[in-house]
Structure 1
C-alpha cells in the first residue's frame, strides 16, 4: 500500500508540475498576484536581432504604458554600468587568454577578430572568454543588430518610468567565474570554426522567436551546439529560481514590466511555471 500511495503521489506531483508549463505560443504574459487585481507583465526578449526581424507590437507598448517601471535582467539604464563592467570583466588570478589555448588557436582567434570583427584581440587578453562572444555575433548575424532591451529603455524614458535590474551586473558576471575559462574559450573557437552552422542555427532560433514558441525556444537553447554546453543549472535554472522571489517583491511594490531572455520562460523550471507554482496567474497576450 505504501508503494502504491507513493507511486500515486509522485504521479500527481508530475501531473501538477506539467500543468504549470505554458502551452500557448506567446512572448508577452500578464502576471496577476494572488488576491490582487493589479497586473504586471513578463516579456521574453532575444538579446540581439537583425532590424528586419525586430518588432515592438502594439500589445507590448500598451503593456509597458500600463506599468510604473521596467525590470530587465540587469539595469541597462545605470550610468555606472560601464564602470562596473570594466571592474568585473577580467578573469581571476591573473589568467590571460594566451595561457588558455595553444599558440595555433591563439593565432586563429587573433586573425579572425582582426579580419572579420575589425578588433584587435589585445583588449580581451585578460577578459573572461565569454566577453569575446559579443563582438563575434556581428559575424554570425551579418547585420547591425538591434536590442529589445535598449528599445525598452527608450520606451521607459519616453514615459518617464524607472528602469531596474532583476539581478546586478556583478552577479551576472560572477556566473562566468563558475564556468571554467577553458570551456568558455572552447565555445568561442567552436563558433569561429563552424560559422555556417552557427548562422543556420541562429536563423532557426530567430524563426522560433518570431513564432513566439517559447517551449521550442527553450528546448533548442538546451540542445544548441553553441550555447549552454552543460552549464544549464548555473546559467538558466538557478537564475530562474533566484528571480522568483525578486519578481514577487518587485511587483508587490509597483506594477512592473519584466523583460528577460525568452529561453527563461518555457519548461517546467522556467519563470512562468515557477510563478504559477507560487499561485500567480499568468495569461498569454497576443
Structure 2
C-alpha cells in the first residue's frame, strides 16, 4: 500500500470519528468521553467529540456531558442541515455519480472481481455501484462491515444529540453544509479517488475491528490513545496535506466561526467528530489562538 492510499483508507475507517458526517465497542460502566470548555468574554463553549456510528447498547451519557448540554442554549453540529436527514439527491448526482463512465470501466479485471465479492458480502447488487464515483462506492463498501458488526448510524452521538435538542426546543446550528463535506472527497484527484476504492476493496473488512479500538478509547475519554490510533507515524508530505484538508483547515474555519460567539456571549454545546479534538491542529488549539481559554473537564 502506498503511503497516500494508506492514509485515505485510514480516513475512511475513522469517518465515524468525524472526517465525514455522512457517515463503537461499547460496554464499560465507567464510560466518560472527553469534554472541554472554552471561555472568552461572556461566551462559554463546550466541546464534545462524537462518533457517527454506535452500537445500540452504547451508554456514553456521563453526568458532566448531560449538565453541559442542558445548560447550553444552542447545539452546534458539523452540518447546518443535520435536522433534515438523508442526503440531497441533487448533490448526490452532482458529486457522487457518474453514469456516463460506469465504475467497472475504471477497474482492472481483478479489481472488478473484488468489487463483486465485496458487494455480495454487503448484500448489495454489484450493478448498484455502476453509476457511482469511486469515492462514494468506497464509502458505501467501507461502512458495510461496520454495520454488519452492529454499528448503527441511527445511534450515532450527533443523531442522539439532535433528537435531544428537538425535545428541548434547543436551536441547532451547523458548521458546514452537506455540499462542502461531499466535496472533500469529490474534489480529490482522480487517481487518488480511485486509490480510495481499491484500497478499501483490499482492506475494508478490517474497519470494524479498528473502530472497536477507536471507540473504546473514545468511550473511556483516553485522548492520548485516541490520538495515537489516529496518527500516521510515517506520513508523506501528500498525506499531511490531506490531513490538513480534512482536519486542520476545517478546524481553523470552525474556530473562526465559533470565535464570533465571544462577542455575543451565551453558552453553546459544540459536538463534532472526535478526530477534530485531537492533535496539534485540533479545534481547541485554534480557539486558543483566538483568545479562548480551553480546559478539559
TM-score (norm 2): 0.75
Give the secondary structure class of the aligned counterpart of 1:31: strand
1:252 Cα deviation from its structure 2 partner:
4.3
Give the conservation status (yes or no) of the 8 Å contact 2:142–2:205.
no
1:256 Cα deviation from its structure 2 partner:
1.9
1:233 aligns with 2:244: yes
Tell me, in whole angstroms, the C-alpha distance in 2 between the residues paired with 1:77 and 1:70.
Answer: 11
Q: Which residue of 1 aligns with 2:284?
A: 272
Give the secondary structure class of the aligned counterpart of 1:108: helix
Tell me, in whole angstroms, the C-alpha distance in 1 between the residues paired with 2:87 and 2:262.
Answer: 24
User: Higher Cα Rg: structure 1 or 2?
Assistant: 1
Give the conservation status (yes or no) of the 8 Å contact 1:218–1:266.
yes
Q: Which runs of 5+ in 2 are unaligned?
A: 1-31
Give the secondary structure class of the aligned counterpart of 1:48: coil
Which of 19, 25, 29 pairs up with 2:36? 29
Q: Which residue of 2 aligns with 1:117?
A: 122
Question: Where in structure 2 are the equivalents of 1:60-99 lying within 5 Å?
Answer: 60-75=65-80, 76-78=82-84, 81-83=87-89, 85-90=91-96, 95-99=101-105
Distance 1:164 1:267, change over 3 A: same
Give the conservation status (yes or no) of the 8 Å contact 2:248–2:282.
yes
Deviations 1:121-177, CA, capped at 9 Å, x for gaps: 434434343333245323135114221110011010110012221011111111113
Q: Which residue of 1 aligns with 2:268?
A: 256
Tell me, in whole angstroms, the C-alpha distance in 2 between the residues paired with 1:84 and 1:175.
Answer: 17
1:71 Cα deviation from its structure 2 partner:
1.1
Q: Which runs of 5+ in 1 are unaligned?
A: 1-24
Distance 1:79 1:186, change over 3 A: closer
Tell me, in whole angstroms, the C-alpha distance in 2 between the residues paired with 1:88 and 1:161.
Answer: 33
Tell me, in whole angstroms, the C-alpha distance in 1 between the residues paired with 2:99 and 2:121.
Answer: 30
Give the conservation status (yes or no) of the 8 Å contact 1:117–1:136.
no
1:96 Cα deviation from its structure 2 partner:
4.1
Q: Root-mean-square deviation (CA), in Å?
A: 2.9
